């Protein structure tokens, strides 16, 4: 019973080594000028729940997770929040810098280095506090 398993493991190991051995040749032969990388990946993980603010109005706070996969720093100049096909709120670079929080840190430089950061977007809501808000990703 052990011998067939060893044969399968050896074949798998040979395949893995072969893949790693061929990878540099495949990459070296690729036309790197034609590749386009998406430098920023955006994700809203969870729908916000409306809460009552100290002003007595309902509010939402979206957590927009942003990952910079490029080797360069990136600066967000503007974020538009859309609702029913129209812009319901815009944030400029100064507002973004004050709301951008690097994962695991409390201080923000306002610049997206090669990392994942959360951008907290407060939005006035026309929904009662405690009500989940449906959203599209």
- Confidence at 113, pLDDT banded by 50, 70, 90: low
Tokens of 65: 């997770």
Higher pLDDT, 90 or 118: 90
Alpha carbon of 44 to those of 28, 41, 66: distances in Å?
36, 10, 9
Tens digit of each residue's pLDDT (9 = 90 or more) over 15-59: 333 333 333 433 444 555 666 667 788 888 787 778 888 888 888
Q: How confident is the model at residue 92 (pLDDT cuts 50, 70, 90)?
A: very high
CB 108 within 8 A of CB 100: yes
* Residue predicted with more confidence, 55 or 131: 55
Determine the pLDDT at residue 74: 81
pLDDT score, position 112: 61
pTM of the full structure: 0.56
Sign of CA dihedral 131, 64, 77, 95: positive
Q: Using CA atoms, how far apart are residues 51 and 20, in angstroms rounded to an integer?
A: 52
β-strands 78-83, 51-52 pairing: unpaired
Residue 120's pLDDT is: 80
What are the residue ranges spanned by the domains of the chain? Answer: 2-33, 40-124
Q: Tell me whether residue 96 is exposed, middle or buried, using C-beta atoms within 10 angstroms of its C-beta: 0 to 12, 13 to 18, 19 or more.
A: buried
Q: Is the pLDDT of residue 13 over 60?
A: no
């Amino acid at each position: 019973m052990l011998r067939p398993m060893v044969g399968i493991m050896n074949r798998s190991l040979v395949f893995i080594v072969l893949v790693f051995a061929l990878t540099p040749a495949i990459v070296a032969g690729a036309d790197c000028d034609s590749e386009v990388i998406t430098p920023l990946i955006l994700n809203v993980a969870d729908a916000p729940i409306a809460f009552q603010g100290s002003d007595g109005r309902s509010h939402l706070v979206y957590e927009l997770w942003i990952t910079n996969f490029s080797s360069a720093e990136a600066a967000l100049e503007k974020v538009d929040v859309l609702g029913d096909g129209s812009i319901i709120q815009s944030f400029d670079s100064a507002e973004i810098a004050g709301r951008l929080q690097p994962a695991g840190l409390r201080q923000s430089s306002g610049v997206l280095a090669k990392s994942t950061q959360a951008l907290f977007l407060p939005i006035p809501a026309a929904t009662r506090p405690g009500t989940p808000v449906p959203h599209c990703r």
